[in-house]
Copies of this chain bind each other. A is one copy, B any other.
Amino acid sequence: MKKISQKTITRALLYTRTLEQLLQNREELVSSRKLADLTGLTDVQVRKDISFFGRVGKPRIGYRTAELKETLEEFVSQNVLHVALFGAGNLGSAILRYPGFYQEKVKLVAAFDTDKKKIGQTIHGVRIYPPEQAPRVVRKTHADIGIIAVPKEVSQTVADLMVRSGLRGIVNFSPTTVSVPPSVVVKNIDLAIEFLSLFCGIGR
């Protein structure tokens, strides 16, 4: 069996999100063409992706929305993702309040901050702990991945703490590269770079 690429997985999640919206509108059937329009991809791309996961479409009719969603979910998200947040400043507290973690698939389980005034508080239902408790709290809450939302000066220190706490994935919002053992996956999101690269794509 051919292995599924990261890109395919990301698109599968996008299809899942779209299928959920279609289900809410009581649309029982959907074609690759329609899914393509709704996601900004091509219909062939959609069919190629879906065919990785199983032969589930009906010629002349399309896909049954609910069935397709279930098929995709078998591959992309059996479990709820437990996320721990490091840094409850501006960006961090915005993430705590982010409404887009649909269907409880992504759950923020704990936050960490060095600010004494914040420790012990609860934002949007999430308790803030001091960093030294990370190993214990990560274990207790079954956190899978962590978010770096601290100033770049301390992001490497925090990354080390995250690794020590047993997290296996890191989303790094600080504008610095962190170095971690190869068993830990890092995704960097530098907003300035995201914006500037878009702009260069525009042309001027």
Which residues of B are found within 8 Å of A102, using beta-carbon distances? 175, 192
Q: Is the CB of B187 within 8 A of A13?
A: no
Residue of B nearest to A108 (CB): B195
Knowing A94-B94, A193-B17, the reply to whether A152 touches B100 (Cβ < 8 A) is yes
Once the chains are docked, how many angstroms separate the CA of A187 from the CA of B17? 17
Q: Is the CB of A100 within 8 A of B175?
A: yes
Identify which of A49-57, A76-84, A125-133 touches chain B: A76-84
Residue of B nearest to A83 (CB): B195
Q: Is the CB of B97 within 8 A of A196?
A: no
Q: Provide 20 A-B residue pairs closer than 8 Å at the C-beta atoms, listed in order of the A residue.
A: A9-B200, A9-B201, A10-B197, A17-B192, A40-B179, A77-B196, A77-B200, A81-B196, A83-B195, A91-B98, A98-B191, A100-B191, A100-B192, A101-B191, A144-B199, A145-B202, A169-B201, A171-B195, A171-B198, A189-B189
Binding site for B on A (CB under 8 A): 6, 9-10, 13-14, 17-18, 21, 37-40, 75-77, 79, 81, 83, 90-91, 93-95, 97-102, 105-106, 144-145, 151-152, 168-169, 171, 174-177, 179, 185-187, 189-202, 204
